[in-house]
Structures are given as C-alpha cells and as structure tokens.
Amino acid sequence: MTTSLARNRNYTLLWSGQALAEVGFSASMIAFPLLVLAVTGSPAVSGLVLAADAAAQLVAGLPAGALVDRWDRRRIMLCCEAAQAFALGGLVLAVWADAVSVAHLVAVAAVLGVCRALFEPAEDACLPRLVPDSQLATAVAMNTARSSLGQMSGTALGGVLFAVTRWLPFLVDMVTHVLAFVTLLFLRVPPVERVSSRPPHILRSIGEGLRWVWGRPEIRVTAVCAVVLNLFFTAFYLVVIVLAQGRGASSAEIGVMAAMLGVGGVLGALVAPWLHRRLGPHRSIASVFWVLCLLTPVALVVQSAYLLGGLFALMTFLAPTANTTIGTHQLLLTPDALRGRLSGVMAVVVGLAGALGPLVGGVLTELLSARTAVVVCAVGIFLITVFVTVSPTLRGYGAVPVDEEEKA
C-alpha cells in the first residue's frame, strides 16, 4: 500500500522548508525596489536590481542544469540555501548600518538568481526519487500551490515589514532560508547511479540536454506552445494594467487585480491532480489555451478593476492542471541522469518568454491603443490555441510509451 504524500517524510520536509523560503523570497522581491527607491529615488535603478536577479537566473540556467546532473543534488540545495542566507545576512547588516549601495543590492540579487537557477532543477530532479510515480502528479501540483501561496503571502508580508523598518523583510528572508537549510539536513534522497566516473565537459553536457529536449516531440512541441502562450499572456497582463489605469483605477485597485492571479493559481493547484486525472493529457493542456483564448477579449468590455481581477483568476485557474500534466510526463519520460538539464532548459526557455512578454506589451501600448493591443494579444493566443487543438503530437500526448518516444 502506497503511503500518502502527507506521510511521506522526505517530501514533507522538502515541501515545508521551501514553503517558508518562498514566503521569504517574495517578501524580499517586493522590498528590493522599495529599498532602491528609498536610497536612490530612481525607478530605473529599481528595475536594474530586479533585472539582475532575472538575468542571473537565465544566464546560469543551462550550466546549472548540467551541474545538477553531475553533482549531489541534496548538497546543491544545501549550498544554495546557505549562500542565500549569507548574502541576505550581509544585506541586513548593510541596511541596518545605513551603508548599503546599489552595487551591493545588484550583487545580492544576482546571488539569489544563481541559487534559484541551481536549486529548482535540483529539486525537480529529486522529486521522482522522493515520491512514487503514482503520486508524482499530486506532488507537482502541490509544489505549484506552494509557489502561489508563497508569492501571495510573501508579497503582502514584505510590504508590511518594510513599512516597519527597511531591513526587516531581508532578515525574515534570511531566517526562512536558514530554516529551509535545516529541513534539508534531514532530507534523505535515494542515491543516483553514476554511469561514468568522469563526466563530459560542461559544454558537452549542456549540448546533450538541449538535444534531448529538441529530439523528443512531446517536450519540444509543448515547450514551443508554452513559450508563445507565456509571451502573449505576460504582454496582455501589462496591457490590461495600462487599460485599467486609463479607466481611472487606483494603485490599490490594480494591486488587488494583480493579486487575483495568485488566487486563481492557488485554487487551480488544489484541484489540479483531480482535473489531471479526469480530463486526460490533451484536454488538460488544451483547456488552459481555450480558456485564455475566450477570456482575453472580455477585458475589452469589463470596466471594473476588481472584475478584471476576477478575470485574471479565471484565466489562471486551469494553468496548474496543464503544468501538472506536462511536468509529470516530462519527469517520467526523462532519464534521471538528464532531469536536471531538462529542468534547466525549460526554465531558460519559459523565463525568456516571461522576460520578453512585458517588453512586447510595452511596445504594443506605445504603438497602439490599449484596446487594440488587447486584440493583438487575443489573436496571438487564438492562433496558438488552434495549433494546440489540432497538433497530432499533443492529441496523442502521454499515449506514446517511453521506449517508442526515444526512437522518434
């Protein structure tokens, strides 16, 4: 009889430690731009600090995936938690002493980005070794819920803590990473069988990961579709904020509107394992595309910022189901020795789309009216939705055995 996830000691340790770390991270991410504005008064410099975090994660993504597949994954996670705690501790002291500089903030943000680039593939690669295959979909969905809960609670907490004193959000983040480090000390991950005692050159390892992703039709097609959807949706998100501002929405209303993305994600993650089983692979993936396709034009007629927030919640509700289906299948399809590189490649690909989306949205709102920009995003989402619906690869998603998939 299979033990429930709640009684799986190793998974519970990993999940609970990272739930705390997610709250701390989100508190720091909202406090970073507030601190830069307080120190320099420059929104541009605030953007530079946040960009340093994202850029570090993207640049380190591919090498990190390769390193995860050759180093001890638990040790990687421990080192990442320790490095983040030390970096944040130094920042707390600098802010407390009123000696913080922009260069220091950029350096800390870069350390956090590199650590996440390493930690996330290590955790993803460990997951199939901590839970049985039958529970992997539930574990993936619970990790998604954990991220959404951490983002919502941490963002709100960070603003409150910063109002108390500037260094407090970073102290809380440091403490959460220390606690996550302690939970990882008790984590037991089954050892990985190493085929060769001398791993290939790092560039060759990265190339093997890229060839693996590109050579598997199901992974390749879902990656392309996810990138296109993420690009247009993140552009749409910025366009809707501009649209709401133009209609007279206050900053508080826009904040609530944006927070509803997390509400939809959390609720969707809670039912994702059930929907994943009920809908089947293709409908689980196609449903999120069709929901976005049908709801995107609704932003043209909805006037209230709060109703736009409800629209955002509906749009993100099914995303965890699709992510659960795709993530579970990819982890089961990929050999253990390549799982770190798979996660690293996917993080870079999706991260690039997420970074370019707001840029596309900004350009659209500069060149076109906000309403016309919504139409452009709607058309882009419609086209990729049609492709997902008729694609033979996606219609047979998950139906091809692994040994046959490797021959494709």
- Going along the chain from its start, the domains and CATH numbers come out as 1-135+153-186 (1.20.1250.20), 203-408 (1.20.1250.20)
pLDDT reported for residue 264: 86
400 Rama class: left (phi>0) / alpha (psi -120 to 50) / beta: beta
Residues 27-49 pLDDT 10s: 888 788 788 878 877 766 766 77
Is the pLDDT higher at 229 or at 255?
Answer: 229
Which pLDDT score is estimated for 134?
85
Which tens digits make up the pLDDT trace of 197-242? Answer: 667 778 888 888 888 888 888 888 988 898 899 889 888 887 888 8
Q: How many helices (H) and strands (E) does the chain have?
A: 16, 0
Answer with the residue of higher pLDDT: 232 or 362.
Answer: 232
**392 exposure class (CB count in 10 Å sphere: 0-12, 13-18, 19+):** exposed
Taking Cα atoms as reference points, which of 231, 252, 227, 249 lies closest to residue 240? 249
pLDDT for 403: 43
Three-class DSSP category at 195:
coil
Average pLDDT, the chain: 85
59, 119 Cβ separation under 8 angstroms: no
Query: Residue 255: pLDDT band by 50, 70, 90 thresholds?
Result: low
pLDDT for res 107 = 92
Q: How confident is the model at residue 294 (pLDDT cuts 50, 70, 90)?
A: very high
**pLDDT tens, residue by residue, 73-131:** 999 999 999 999 999 999 999 999 988 888 898 899 899 999 999 999 999 989 988 98
The pTM is what? 0.80
**Angle at 102 (CA atoms; ends 98, 104), nearest 5 degrees:** 75
pLDDT tens digits for range 156-179 = 788 788 888 889 999 999 999 999
Residue labelled with tokens 């996810």:
226
State the Cα–Cα distance between residues 153 and 30, nearest whole angstrom: 11
Residue 272 has pLDDT above 60, yes or no: yes
Q: How confident is the model at residue 168, as a pLDDT?
A: 92
Q: Which band of pLDDT confidence, cut at 50, 70 and 90, is reported for residue 386?
A: very high
Q: Decide: residue 57, CB within 10 A, 0-12 exposed, 13-18 middle, 19+ buried.
A: buried
What confidence tier does 407 reach under pLDDT thresholds 50, 70, 90?
Answer: very low
Residue 396: predicted pLDDT: 83
Write down the pLDDT at residue 402: 44
Q: Of 263, 400, 279, which Cα lies nearest the Cα of 333?
A: 400
Average pLDDT over residues 279-296: 91
pLDDT computed for residue 91 by the predictor: 94
Give the pLDDT confidence score for residue 395 in this predicted structure: 87
pLDDT score, position 79: 95
| Res 138 pLDDT > 80 | yes
Could you tell me which of 307, 226, 319 has the C-alpha nearest to residue 265?
A: 319
Please identify which residue in the block is written with the tokens 């749409």: 236
Are 122 and 68 in contact, with CB atoms under 8 Å apart?
yes
Query: Do residues 169 and 30 touch, judged by C-beta distance below 8 A?
Result: yes
The pLDDT-based confidence of 404 (bands split at 50, 70, 90) is very low
C-beta separation of 177 from 81 below 8 A: yes
